[in-house]
Amino acid sequence: MNIRLRFGAPLLTLVMLACTHGAFAQLTCPPKAPQPPAVPVPGKPGETGWLLDDTESDANGNKIQVWCLKAIPGPNPPAHGGPDFALLYKPAGAKDADAVWVGACTFPGGQNKPNKDFTKLPNGKPKQFTKVTWFNYEPPPNGANDWDYSYDPATGKLTLSKTAGGYFLVRTATGWAIIYKWNVVGTDTYPAPKNFGDIKFTTGGTTTQVTQLFPGPGGIGAEAVTAVASVTGNNWNYALNVNAMGGSGTQDNPFIGVYADVKAGDTFSIGAFGIQSPFVSGAAADPANGAWVVDSFDSNFVIFRATVDAEVTPGMLISGFGFTSSAPAGGTIAWGLQSSNEAIGSQGVVSGPAFPPDQLTVTGPSTSVASGDQTFITATVQAVANELPGIPVTFTSTMRGVTFNNGNVSADGTSTTIVTSTNGQAVASITVRSADRVQVSVAGTPLNGTVMLSTGTPPPPPPPTPTPTPVATQVAAARGNHR
């Protein structure tokens, strides 16, 4: 990463902005009120917190989660501060205990940029994550320290760079912005840790536990870019929003954030239904924003491609990506931004034309599991053979033989609801206590499935259904009680 020096002097005084959810798709740590109760982190004994995001995965089943962890005193697992943002990478098919921590926010009120690189399928959707990054920097006005995390799934190694920078006020095409600029001063690489408290940095023979540097609270986090949709009739229009951490763009209240460096060859893909006549116009066609063009498309996807390098400031809305579609509105579709610049590779879900779910595939363990073991049930939701993201799937225990470890767990613990990721999958992590029958259903549809879980003994019969008392007997009994 390179520091940029062509702008004015550092800004010396700024007004701190509140950490809020809003138009910039921000996450906050801890969550905003009403704050849900903290829950145990599956596979990480002693760790508790809030699962803030569980929707990002690639086609191979690798998953990225954003947690907000509470502080723990240790020693097992190692002590660490909190509440802190924590980025968790879960390899496909791995047990929860083998997931690794690949990013953290250790500054009070810190700013964070989580992003990723990936290879893509022909339709532009992520096939395989190739790099997961997390940039954590101190808030304005006097922030000067930061950490840059980069995880390589192929090697399992985490590279942690110590960087330093500062805030500068710049004039942009859409107003004013306070830009954070930085430079790397040291780097350390080691196997990504399974314990959050084991995120460390070693230089000159000195090792620092990064997650113990500062007390909480955490801060705000947002990917560098998000997609925004609008529709008029059959005409769909999309924009890439360069996320700001705050501000409104005026001189008195500038946007706050970092540059999004668009590179020629970057691609913006949308997986939708019934796509026709894709186009690029307006800001998206402007060389100042990358001079995007339609690269390729068919009825289920469109890929737009940048043709020139561009430096886009926070708060900028690059509008002008579009197409027509006769598919129903109100659905949820996947999008992805793939870039040679690791800082802006992003993916997510956005509203778009999508047919309702017509297929549910459910898979669970193929053999019996021992009592106390953790395992997974995977539900894949599709429409006309295309994966559907953003669909709520409910997993229900009919015999109370399992504990659900993730998702929106019901108050009585008998069910959990999980939204499908960008690959159309909802994955329930469960701890098996005894034999059970887990039913899987898709809200608003007749789609359902069942997974039988065996612990080596036949499952107990379902509880008997009470035989209703005939109405005439009820009436006679009621009369007898009043004699």
pLDDT category of residue 110 using cuts at 50, 70 and 90? confident
pLDDT category of residue 11 using cuts at 50, 70 and 90? very low
Q: What are the pLDDT digits (tens) for 191-213? A: 999 999 999 999 888 999 999 87
- Domains 225-352 and 359-453 equal at CATH topology level: yes
Q: State which amino acid sits at residue 261.
A: D
> C-alpha angle with apex 467: 464 to 472, nearest 5 degrees?
170
Q: What is the DSSP string of 151-206?
A: EETTTTEEEEEEEEEEEEEEEETTEEEEEEEEEEEEEEEEEPPSSGGG-EEEETTE
User: What average pLDDT score do residues 285-301 get?
Assistant: 95
Q: What are the pLDDT digits (tens) for 248-264? A: 889 889 998 888 889 99
Exposure string for 255-290, b = 16+ CB within 10 A, e = fewer? bbbbbbbbeeebbbbbbbbbbeebbbeebbbbeebb
Mean pLDDT highest for which of 211-220, 336-345, 357-366? 357-366
Residue for token pair 């956005």: 350
Q: What are the pLDDT digits (tens) for 77-97? A: 889 988 999 999 999 888 889
**How much of the chain, in percent, has pLDDT values that exceed 70?**
87
Identify the weakest region by mean pLDDT among 17-21, 51-55, 92-96, 368-372.
17-21
Q: Is the pLDDT of residue 346 over 70?
A: yes
Q: What are the pLDDT digits (tens) for 309-343? A: 999 999 899 999 999 999 998 899 989 888 877 67
pLDDT at residue number 216: 60
Q: Is 255 helix (H, G, I), strand (E, B) or coil?
A: strand
Could you tell me if 50 and 30 are in contact, meaning their C-beta atoms sit under 8 angstroms apart?
yes
Q: Is the pLDDT of residue 374 over 90?
A: no
Q: How far apart are CA 209 and CA 202, in angstroms?
A: 9
Identify the weakest region by mean pLDDT among 61-65, 124-128, 192-196, 318-322.
124-128
User: What average pLDDT score do residues 227-250 get?
Assistant: 92
pLDDT at residue number 423: 85
Identify the weakest region by mean pLDDT among 7-11, 155-159, 180-184.
7-11
- CATH class (in words) of the domain with range 225-352: mainly beta
What the block records as the tokens of 460 is 């107990």
pLDDT category of residue 460 using cuts at 50, 70 and 90? low
pLDDT at residue number 465: 55
> C-alpha angle with apex 350: 348 to 356, nearest 5 degrees?
115
pLDDT at residue number 25: 54
Q: How far apart are CA 43 and CA 53, in angstroms?
A: 17
- CATH class (in words) of the domain with range 359-453: mainly beta
End-to-end CA distance of the chain: 89
**How much of the chain, in percent, has pLDDT values that exceed 90?**
49
pLDDT at residue number 324: 98
Identify the weakest region by mean pLDDT among 4-8, 260-264, 391-395.
4-8
Identify the weakest region by mean pLDDT among 86-90, 132-136, 142-146.
142-146
Kindly list the domain boundaries of the chain, sorted by start residue. 27-221, 225-352, 359-453
User: What average pLDDT score do residues 18-30 get?
Assistant: 51
Within a 10 A sphere around the Cβ of 235, how many other Cβ atoms? 13
pLDDT at residue number 467: 52
Q: How far apart are CA 352 and CA 229, in angstroms?
A: 7
